[in-house]
Amino acid sequence: WLKSWLAGGRGRSRGFPCLSASHSPMAGSSAQLEPGIYVVEGEAVGSLAPKFRGMSYAFMVTNAMRAGSHLQMWCADLVAAGKVPDGYDLAGKDCWALHGHPWGNVFVVDGAALIECDKSFNQRHVWKHSDDFKGKLFSE
């Protein structure tokens, strides 16, 4: 059913050159994402969690860490979107469309970091995987 759904054009993300109808949810992405807590240093905390038995992911900004931060709370499903096309600074890196993001941004995988970019692959935020928050929610 997924192939017919995608073939009908319903799997395309509008405006992203890296996502085509031929991609299944995990096609085109060789990067393994590390579920857990991610932070934008001094700005925000987010959480990446697997969905559907590890076949897809969801990301949610769970906390803005400082007053006046321009980061807003949002939640999105990650959909594998191939590689960043040639001609961009991040060309060749794995790209994940953020379905549900308020501005339609994407994540580009760079090692243990998720680089949040706009539709033109301009860097907006760098989300770094963090172990600092494990087990500390109720410890203080």
**Backbone torsion region of residue 104, taken as left when φ is above 0, otherwise alpha when ψ lies between -120 and 50, otherwise beta:** left
**Backbone torsion region of residue 100, taken as left when φ is above 0, otherwise alpha when ψ lies between -120 and 50, otherwise beta:** left
pLDDT in tens for each of the 140 residues of the chain? 344 444 544 444 444 445 433 333 444 566 679 999 999 988 899 999 998 776 789 999 988 777 767 778 999 999 999 999 999 999 999 999 999 999 999 999 999 999 999 999 999 999 999 987 655 554 44
Please, which residues bridge with residue 44 across strands? 40, 64
**Is 111 domain-assigned?**
yes
| Number of independent structural domains in the chain | 1
**Is 135 domain-assigned?**
no
Tokens representing residue 62 in the block: 């769970």
Q: Which of 86, 83, 82, 36 is closest to 57 using CA atoms?
A: 36
**Is 6 domain-assigned?**
yes
- Report the length, in residues, of the chain: 140
**Is 139 domain-assigned?**
no
Return d(Cα 72, Cα 56) in angstroms, integer.
23
Tokens representing residue 116 in the block: 């949040």
**Is 140 domain-assigned?**
no
Q: 125: Cβ–Cβ under 8 A, 6 or more apart, which residues?
A: 40, 43, 44, 71, 115, 116
pTM > 0.75: no
Which H helix or E strand runs over 123? strand 123-130
Domain interval for residue 114: 2-130
